[in-house]
Amino acid sequence: MSDGLATRAIHAGQGADPATGATITPIYQTSTYTQQGLESHLGYEYSRTGNPTRAALEACLASLEGGAHGLAFASGCAATAAVLSLLRPGDHVVAGDDLYGGTYRLFETVWRPLGVEFTYVDQRAAAAFGRAARPTTRLFWLETPSNPLLRLADIAAVAGEARAVGARLAVDNTFATPAFQQPLALGADLVVHSTTKYLGGHSDVVGGAVITGDADVHERLKAYQNSAGGVPGPFDAWLVLRGLKTLAVRMERHARNGAAVAAFLSRHPRARDVVHPSLASYPQRELAERQMSGFGGMVTFRLPGGRAAAGRFVRALRLFSFAESLGGVESLVCHPATMTHAAIPDAERRRRGIAPGTLRLSVGLEDAADLLADLEGALAAAAAPVAPAAAP
Ligand SMILES: Cc1ncc(COP(=O)(O)O)c(C=O)c1O
């Protein structure tokens, strides 16, 4: 019987150091390796190609996602670019239409000018992927839950659509993490991560990863990784590895606090359109329960007062930091329209359901009661613009 996820997060790829017996994987802060002689070395030649700290991280990530092969990159965007490197001019991608803004920007401003074509569909309908496919379609791309509206795609159903047209399915599993969702087991070909988020877990490192069970795809991605060179340094790889050790316990607490915040907001008269899969009002509840083993700490909602109310809200918060990113131990709030999703044209953003009053919370690991008190105060401040001074 294979070990459980919490065990693998602590041990996979992280045996005692063969050189010294160090229990914790050392930070091999070296660019190069002394070789024994011509064509004779201990498995490492140069750290863009391979580094033992990065190799430990890659093995651990592969184990957590249930894929044979993992590759670590310098950022989530670099990992996404690696997957896109499998495409050629004229190839076509069908992607879900609620995506991290930087992924959309990479598709539209880097890959489209190189001749790759993209069609966006509502990912809540798996059949939409098949309908949008063309003879040139090579890749389906999903984020589930999506950023920021927490919409789900049925991974197994979309994987079926992909197989039917001979395309690969890549799933960005950043929000759910392997602790709560296993895309490869559901039929995806590739899993992508921004390890900057829950996997690193402490908002102190930027990184990315691609995991696959397909040896040929892995070889192509590894060649790309070595050629393009967007690798994490040894210390960054080590920070993610250290973060992974507590992934299972952190995710449980993120999910518990996320559900508490969502329940609070959904009862609050000043918050609208609260989205979290734990809520009875969540429209894809059955799929969430079938596909995920936990619902995470991301909560999205809307303030009826639009951009001005959002501005007052974020200024009034005491514990939630007003910041990009997510998935760290501390709670964050982000205004997608002006931050993470500013790269999407205004009309397109509104069409996708991101309003000027939409706010995205990354609920951290603080005491839930303190977070609710912080939100209560900021909701009051959001509703009450400071009155102009009375005329003398
Ligand atoms: C879902 C998702 N995927 C990918 C990325 C890109 O990752 P990075 O910022 O590490 O390049 C992000 C960043 O916010 C994200 O939220």
The reported pLDDT for the residue numbered 1 is 62
Active site members: 48, 100, 172, 197
For ligand 1, pick from 80, 197, 206 the residue to mutate: most ligand atoms within 8 Å of CB: 197
Ligand 1 atom showing the smallest separation from residue 325 Cα: 14
Dist. CA 170 → ligand 1 center (Å): 14
Residue count of the chain = 392
The reported pLDDT for the residue numbered 392 is 54
For ligand 1, pick from 83, 147, 332, 360 the residue to mutate: most ligand atoms within 8 Å of CB: 147
Q: What is the pLDDT of residues 141-196, one digit of tens each?
A: 999 999 889 999 999 999 999 999 999 999 999 999 999 999 999 999 999 999 99
- Beta strands (DSSP E) in the chain are 69-73, 92-96, 117-121, 137-143, 168-172, 190-194, 208-212, 272-275, 298-302, 321-322, 332-334, 358-362
The reported pLDDT for the residue numbered 390 is 58
The reported pLDDT for the residue numbered 348 is 86
The reported pLDDT for the residue numbered 276 is 98
Dist. CA 226 → ligand 1 center (Å): 21
**Per the omega criterion (within 30 degrees of 0), is the bond before 234 cis?**
no
- Beta strands (DSSP E) in 4-154 are 69-73, 92-96, 117-121, 137-143
The reported pLDDT for the residue numbered 2 is 86
- In this prediction, the residues of the chain whose per-residue pLDDT falls under 50 are none
DSSP state for residue 26 in the 8-state scheme: P
d(CA 218, CA 205): 24
Burial of 216 (0-12, 13-18, 19+ CB in 10 A): exposed
- Beta strands (DSSP E) in 180-296 are 190-194, 208-212, 272-275
Dist. CA 336 → ligand 1 center (Å): 13
Strand 92-96, strand 137-143: pairing? parallel
Residue 129 token pair = 């992927």
d(CA 230, CA 5): 28
Burial of 115 (0-12, 13-18, 19+ CB in 10 A): exposed
Dist. CA 194 → ligand 1 center (Å): 5
d(CA 207, CA 220): 20
Closest residue (by CA) to atom 14 of ligand 1? Answer: 325
Pocket of ligand 1 (CB under 6 A): 75-77, 100, 102-103, 143, 147, 172, 174-175, 194, 196, 206, 208
Ligand 1 atom showing the smallest separation from residue 102 Cα: 6
Ligand 1 atom showing the smallest separation from residue 78 Cα: 11
Dist. CA 174 → ligand 1 center (Å): 7
> What's the chain's average pLDDT?
96
The reported pLDDT for the residue numbered 337 is 94
Residue 255 token pair = 């999910």
Ligand 1 atom showing the smallest separation from residue 147 Cα: 1
